[in-house]
Each structure stands twice: as C-alpha cells, then as structure tokens.
Amino acid sequence: MSGLEAEIKAICKAVGNDRTRTMDIVRAVQDKHGCVSSEAIDVIAKQVGTPRVEVEGVVSFYSFLSEQPKGKVVIRLCHDIIDQMQGCDRVAQAFAEELGIAFGETTPDGMISLEYAACIGMSDQAPAALVNDVVVTHLSSDAAREIVRKLKADPDPKRLVASLGDGNNAHPKVQSMVMNNIRVRGPVVLADFDSGEGLRKAVAMTPAEVIRDIKTARLRGRGGAGFPTGLKWEFTRKASGDQRYVLCNADEGEPGTFKDRVILTEHPDLMFEGMTIAGYAIGAETGIVYLRGEYAYLRAFLEEVLETRRKQGLLGRNVCRKEGFNFDIRIQMGAGAYVCGEETALISSCEGKRGDPKNRPPFPAQKGYLDGPTVVNNVETFCCVSRILEKGPGWFAESGSKGSAGTKLLSIAGDCRRPGVYELPFGVTLREVLDLAGASDAAAVQVGGPSGQLVGPKDFDRMICYDDLATGGSIMVFGPERNVLEVVREFLEFFVDESCGYCTPCRVGNVLMKERVEQIIAGRGEPADLDYLQELAETVKACSRCGLGQTSPNPVLTTLKNFRPAYEALVKQDKDGFRPTFVLSEAVGDAEAISGRKSVHTHQ
Amino acid sequence: MSETIPITIDGVEVQAKPGQTILEAADAAGIYIPRLCYQKDLVPFGACRVCTVLVNGRPQPACTQPVAPEMVIDNSSEKVQTYRRNIIEMLFVEGNHFCMFCEKSGNCELQALAYRFGITAPKYPFLFPKREVDASHPDIFVDHNRCILCARCVRASRDVDGKNVFGFVGRGPHKKVAVNADANLGGTDAAATDKALDICPVGALMRKRVGYAVPVGQRDYDTKPIGSDIETSKAK
C-alpha cells in the first residue's frame, strides 16, 4: 500500500467510509496534498463504494478542489464588481508581477498558486483575498507585494494577519483581520441576546404551538425568496419520513452580501438556537450548517460555540431537560460554488454529490436531505426564530411593513461612504438606506445582488420589502461615473462561471447574453440586439431549472427597462446607416495566420 | 386504478392517471410535447428544457411535473414555441453539429426537432468549442462535439445496464460527459450491446462500423416528423 493510499483510507475511515461525506473527504485530501489526484479519486471511490466518475464529478464541480496539484499556498483574489471598483486589478497585477506567474498558475517551485475568486463576502473591505483560509482585506498593490514577500519567507498564511478585526474577529479561534462594520443594530438580529431563553420557552410549548408562533409573527425566509417560514415548517412536520433534518444555509454567495458573515461572527448562538427550535418544531434530531468554503476561517470558532452549547445542555440528548428531545448540529463545509446557496443544490452538496440542484417536486419539505423531510432556512431566518420565541410573535410583527414583518439585515457596499451591515425595519425606502450609507449621489443601485434588480434614482423612493424591492441583503451602490453595461457584463460573467450546467437555457443562455452585451459595449451592436437580448433573457428566465438561471437574466432585463438609454446610445445607427457588426479583419484572422500573409482587404 | 385527474392541454380535456407526469399524460392522449432528454423507461432528468409548457401560465418542464387537478396546460402558443425554438438553437450553437456529415443524420432527434420547428439556421452565434473524440474503445466512439448533455447514457448505463460507465464532470459551459475510468472509454466495461448506446438522441455515442447500414433517405425522420408516432396514435 502506498503512503498516499494509506493516508486517504484513513481520511475515509474517519467519516465511516460514508459516501454521503464525500465533501469532507475530498476537502481533507485537497488540504493535505494540494489536489485530489486521479490516484486519490480511485482510492476514495473504492473506499466509499461509488463509481470513480462520481468522485471525479464532485472534485471537478467545486472551485476550491482540483485534480491538478495547486501550490501549498493558494491566493484567491476576490474579483467581483465591488472589488474591481476598489482597484483589485492593480492588486492583481502586483500579485502576478511579484510571483512571476499569471492567474490560474502555480509558481515553478510549487509553493504559491494565484487564482481569482467570485465574491468572498468582504465587499465592505475590498479589495480582499483569501490566502488559503486566511482573509486579507483592504488590499493595495503595495500590500500585495508585501504579502508575497512574507509568504516567500514563511509560507504560513496566518502570519499575514498583522492586526485583528473588531468583536469576535479577535477571538482566539478566529484571529482574523476582518472588520464587522456594523452600522445600525436593530432590535431583532444584532441586539444583545441571552442564550437559551427562546429555546427554553419553545420546549415549554408543543411543537404545533411553536409553529403557530412563527406563523403569527409572519416570518418570511430572509434568503430572498421570502417563503413563509411557519408554513414551510408545517409542511415538513406533516410530511412522512423517519428522519427529519434542519439545514442552515450559510452559503452566502450572492455578490455584495456579507451580513451572514457578521451574524456568524457575532451571533452564532442566536442562529444555532433558531435551528434547535426548528428541530423541536418539526421533530428532527439532526441539524447541519452548510458553511461556504470562503468562511472556513470561522469554522473552529463555530465548532467551539457548538461545544459550549452541548455543555450547557442546549444541544445533545434531552435538550433543555426536555425528555426525548434530542438534537445536535454539525458543520458541513462547502468548497466554492455559488449554486450551492440554492436549497436543493445545497442538499446535493451535503449528500456528498455535485452541487446540482434537484428536480422539484418533490420539495425538500417532503423529500430533502437523504430523502427525509427537510427544512432549509437562511442564517438570518433562524436568528429571527430565536427572537420570536424569546420576545413573542406580537413584538416581532410590530416592526416592518404590512406584508413584511420584522427587520432586515442589509449589506451595503460600493460607492458609499459607510459600507457595512445595517439592520433596518422592512418598509424603509431605498433613499433612506442610501442616506444612511452616505451614498446620496448614487446613480444606480443593485438591490438583491446580481440576481436582483438594478434601479435608478426614479426608484429610490421604493421600499425594501418582499412586495416591492426584495433582497436577500445585498445592496451595491454605483456612482455616476460607473458604466451600467460594464456592471451587467460582470454579472453575466459571474453567472456563466457559476452555472452548474445542468440545464440548457442557463448553461448556454448566459454565455449568449454575455457575448451580445460585450458586442454592444464594443460598439458593434445593432438596434435589433435589444429585442434579441430581451427574448433571450426571457427564455432563460422562464425555462431554467433553478433559481440561478431563473434570475441570472435580471441584470439584462432590469437594465433594458431602467437604463435603456445606456444601450441605445451604443447601438445607434450611424449617419450613413452603417453598423460595424461584422469585422472583416477578425473574421479572416485565422485564415491569415494559416496562410502567413495579410489579406489585401484588411492591411490598412 | 379507475380514478383519473382531469387536465386541459391546449383546450383539450385529458384524463390523466394519478402519478403521471404531464408529458406521460400527453403521450397517452396522443398529444406530442417535444423533448430531448426524456426517454421512456429512464428516470426523468429535466435537463434539456425542450418540453417546457405553461401550467396555468407558469413555465414548467412537462417531463418532471406531475399532473394535478385543474391544470390548464399551454403546449402550443407562440410563446411556448419560441422558448423551445430558442433552446433547440442553443443546443446547436453550443456544440459542433455538422448534420451534413454526421452518420446519425436522419435518426437524430436534435436535427429532427430543428426540422419540426423550421429552424434552417440558428440566430445565435456559433460558440465553436474545442471538444474531443474518444475512439479508444474497439466497438464504440464518443464524439463530444455532438453531445447535448441529456444524461440518457448516464441513466441507462446506471439503471438499465447496471454499469455506471458514464457520469458528468465540470460545471457550467465546461460540463461534459466523462467515463468511469482514469482516461477514456477503452478503460471502461462498456460494450456495444449496452442500452446506453441505443438511446443517445444525437450522434455523440455511436457504434463503430455500422454507420450507414440504413441509407440516408430511409431513416426514422426522413419521411415523417419527430413526434408523429405519438400524434398518429391519437387518430386511431
């Protein structure tokens, strides 16, 4: 038996050779060996009893996993639109120059790899990067050069943390330079909290009464879709199945959002308590927090909080001395895949598979994780649950607007003076939000991240709530100097990269939308391209299989509606009626290369 | 079971059986809903989206959506047909489909659907991806240029052949069919008699040395459009 084989067998054995724990296995192998090689895939497949192509499918699905060796240190520079606005391209250039490699490459000595990452949840302190699991923020080209010099002297990324962030970022188990940037503390999520109080009240009631309270509070899911939480729990409780599950969606991947990061850092107890209450309400014994790979730096801390809760009798057997109520929580790490924030893709990933969304019906409430009835809620939703039980549904429903009870955490970033997290009551207008954030001169605001909508000043008096401007939390501000079409192009590139590729419209349609927007930006669009884009976007929206493809056309659709002049200026007919859609020199480029000479038509 | 669920497809009342999908109910009623990844006797996959219909105004894939009472299904409006036409066109430009020299021509479901929808040339730009041909197996070849990622081979190999020869790797535009070996098809236990080979809707998964056994002009869709077998069952 080779050393590698023995080591991988041990990794598999540690999770009971359970194929549903494939994610843990491949992550451990990647951490230890810098890749999950073909040989490693063979061993894993044999150990857990699955075809090797299944394991290969998993490894090839997630950004943080690789069949080819990566460096001992991987620098992942965040490349979302906010980071670009804050100068991440200069940082990128500095990294590439200092390392002597391009993005996607590894230094010849196998020490350092350089990659781009989609949003890593640090838009309020951009440009930022992950160095293995260590977050570095507020980067400049000088800082990048300094990082490379330090890594060359000592490859331990922990040494890059010169000063610690506020709050629990300085906790011994976190030790990160991340800042919380909490600007407004509302009464629900960010207020002080007595651990265990809501839970003790819950177990004094019947599960049906707990669900009734959640319904009375009119709590709707904070992930963005806004499904009534009490109803979801009731469906799950009533579905048939031996094992039920509570899943917490901590895969905060929507570019521009980082409010779950702050909750996970400062109020994990509130979230775990909400999950435990859900477990009691639906009759589950197992809870899983699906933590995005980008937030791995919080894992040890969260494990410690869980351990403390076990010691306090808030998790484990007979929780809160309630005879027969057993519930515990484990953390499932993701590995870099935006689509896993989609609840059925999240379930696939928890089951150790590719993060492909599933067909619905059946819905997770009927048949979710390992085919058991499953509740999937967002981090913030579970926090609201704890507070509803602690303070009562009436108290909760008092704040907010008519159709949207409670408060909402907003992550605000971009062209504003005070980026950060704001807990505000639903019904607040976008203008009030922008004033608070110091962005009164905003020209365009993306509400709800790339999958949301881009609105202009005429919409600034609209309200943040489920019935008007819905958002999972991301608010990106663009000043008058920004190019709206460039924003659209960036978002489409993001969706192309993050599509799982399962269904045709999303896999192909996003590529086609990006191609045409690029044509238009390059000044080679035609007036007819606007109808073309409209129809293409509508097809992708209508026919895609999951929320990713059903919302990825939104940047195109909302800008065609709200910023049409930006398109029209670029596709305007010239005086002579000529549009350079077709570029002869490009069309004959390949032929010229083969023949070794320039065409007579193009060598001007 | 005698109980039926009444649904309406294009204004026609259809008595569906409980547990049926919209597509199954339509097939039984002699109403053709275009499809590519769906294959009778395989677990529905819901990937190609060609079978998209409007159910009470909302788009749904007919192959995975179970029937429910009061469903009013639109399978033929201009809107639905536009969606489908666009998806078929996407499949053409995403790969490298050269019908004129593909030995599957006339038996190809993608080509046949294009004919049925009157697509002579796609309006989308060709993406011309670089894809390989795997001819390592003595009796079978895989041409990824023509693959539409319908997963029929994946499902048939797993559920009918009991072999798991095929699976998916990569994601987004880089998603592709892979084989259960460290290199290529020659390293798997695939056999020319596998069900997985019979059900490829396009010319991606082919048996060697039998390409033109039936001459062009006498093939499945040379004389009648795809779907007419279902539609003629209605006439009887």
- pLDDT for the residue numbered A598: 85
Burial of A96 (0-12, 13-18, 19+ CB in 10 A): middle
- pLDDT for the residue numbered A419: 98
Per the structure block, which two tokens stand in for B194?
């596998």
- pLDDT for the residue numbered B1: 52
| Contact residues for B120 (Cβ-Cβ < 8 A; gap 6+) | none
HEC per residue, A432-471: HHHHHHCCCCCCEEEECCCCCEEECHHHCCCEECCCCECC
Residues of chain A with Cβ-Cβ distance to B169 below 8 Å are: 53, 56-57, 60-61
- pLDDT for the residue numbered A582: 78
Residues of chain A with Cβ-Cβ distance to B64 below 8 Å are: 359
Per the structure block, which two tokens stand in for B233?
């069952």
| Contact residues for A502 (Cβ-Cβ < 8 A; gap 6+) | A356, A357, A545, A546, B47, B175
Contact (CB<8Å) B59/A542: yes
Nearest to A512 among B61, B66, B124 (CB): B124
Please indicate if any CB of chain A lies within 8 Å of the CB of B127.
Answer: yes
Please indicate if any CB of chain A lies within 8 Å of the CB of B188.
Answer: no
- pLDDT for the residue numbered A580: 75
Residues of chain B with Cβ-Cβ distance to A57 below 8 Å are: 167-169, 178
Contact (CB<8Å) A504/B178: no
pLDDT above 90: residue B123 = yes
Residue A12 CA to residue A16 CA, distance in Å, equals: 6
Please indicate if any CB of chain A lies within 8 Å of the CB of B49.
Answer: yes
Residues of chain B with Cβ-Cβ distance to A515 below 8 Å are: 125
Q: Which of these, A214, A168, A209, A206, lies nearest to A386 by C-alpha position?
A: A214
Contact (CB<8Å) A503/B48: yes
Nearest to A500 among B46, B91, B172 (CB): B172
Please indicate if any CB of chain B lies within 8 Å of the CB of A42.
Answer: yes
Contact (CB<8Å) B87/A504: yes
Please indicate if any CB of chain B lies within 8 Å of the CB of A547.
Answer: no
Please indicate if any CB of chain B lies within 8 Å of the CB of A493.
Answer: no
Q: Residue A337: what residue type? A: A
Residues of chain B with Cβ-Cβ distance to A497 below 8 Å are: 172
pLDDT above 70: residue B19 = yes
Q: Residue A7: what residue type? A: E
Residues of chain B with Cβ-Cβ distance to A56 below 8 Å are: 167, 169, 178
Contact (CB<8Å) A512/B167: no
Residue A563 CA to residue A574 CA, distance in Å, equals: 21
| Contact residues for A354 (Cβ-Cβ < 8 A; gap 6+) | A57, A58, A61, A348, A500, B168, B171
Contact (CB<8Å) B94/A508: yes
Of A60, A504, A512, A582, which to mutate for an interface test with B (greatest number of B Cβ within 10 Å)?
A504
Rounded to two decimals, the ipTM of the complex is 0.97
Please indicate if any CB of chain A lies within 8 Å of the CB of B81.
Answer: no
Residue B8 CA to residue B68 CA, distance in Å, equals: 11
**Residues A230-266: pLDDT tens digits?**
999 999 999 999 999 999 999 999 999 999 999 999 9
pTM confidence score: 0.96
| Contact residues for B141 (Cβ-Cβ < 8 A; gap 6+) | B133, B134, B135, B185, B205, B206, B208
Please indicate if any CB of chain A lies within 8 Å of the CB of B74.
Answer: no
Residues of chain A with Cβ-Cβ distance to B182 below 8 Å are: 38, 41-42, 52
Contact (CB<8Å) B173/A545: no
- pLDDT for the residue numbered B236: 56
β-strand A444-447 against A134-136: which pairing, if any? Answer: unpaired
HEC per residue, A86-123: CCHHHHHHHHHHHHCCCCCCECCCCCEEEEEECCCCCH
Residues of chain A with Cβ-Cβ distance to B90 below 8 Å are: 504-505, 508-509, 512
- pLDDT for the residue numbered B13: 96
Chain A: closest CA distance from residue B214 (Å): 31
Question: Would residue A316 be called left, alpha or beta, if left means φ above 0 and alpha means ψ between -120 and 50 degrees?
Answer: left
Res. B235 pLDDT band, cuts 50 70 90: low
- pLDDT for the residue numbered A581: 78
B55: enclosing H helix or E strand? strand B52-55
- pLDDT for the residue numbered B124: 97
Please indicate if any CB of chain B lies within 8 Å of the CB of A507.
Answer: yes
User: Prior bond to A361 cis, omega within 30?
Assistant: yes
Nearest to B167 among A57, A498, A504 (CB): A57
* A474, β-bridge pairs: A411
Per the structure block, which two tokens stand in for B150?
């319908």
Residues of chain B with Cβ-Cβ distance to A52 below 8 Å are: 180-182
**Residues B53-75: pLDDT tens digits?**
999 999 999 999 999 999 999 99
Can you list the residues of chain A whose pLDDT is less than 50?
604
Query: Residue A398: how many CA atoms within 13 Å on its side-chain side?
Result: 9
Contact (CB<8Å) A500/B59: no
Please indicate if any CB of chain A lies within 8 Å of the CB of B122.
Answer: no
**Residues B136-194: pLDDT tens digits?**
999 999 999 999 999 999 999 999 999 999 999 999 999 999 999 999 999 999 999 99
Please indicate if any CB of chain B lies within 8 Å of the CB of A518.
Answer: no
Residues of chain B with Cβ-Cβ distance to A494 below 8 Å are: none
Give the residue on B whose Cα is nearest the Cα of A549: B172
A565: enclosing H helix or E strand? helix A564-571
Residues of chain A with Cβ-Cβ distance to B44 below 8 Å are: 359
SS3 A422: strand
Of B81, B86, B149, B184, which to mutate for an interface test with A (greatest number of A Cβ within 10 Å)?
B86
Residue A413 CA to residue A420 CA, distance in Å, equals: 7
Largest Cα–Cα distance in chain B?
Answer: 53
Burial of A540 (0-12, 13-18, 19+ CB in 10 A): buried
Burial of A197 (0-12, 13-18, 19+ CB in 10 A): middle
Number of CB pairs, chain A paired with chain B, less than 8 A apart: 123
Please indicate if any CB of chain A lies within 8 Å of the CB of B92.
Answer: no
Asked whether A554 and A487 are in contact (CB, 8 A), the reply is no
Contact (CB<8Å) A507/B173: yes
Contact (CB<8Å) B46/A545: yes
Residue A54 CA to residue A308 CA, distance in Å, equals: 37
**Residue linked to tokens 């999770």:** A15
Query: Residue A525: how many CA atoms within 13 Å on its side-chain side?
Result: 26
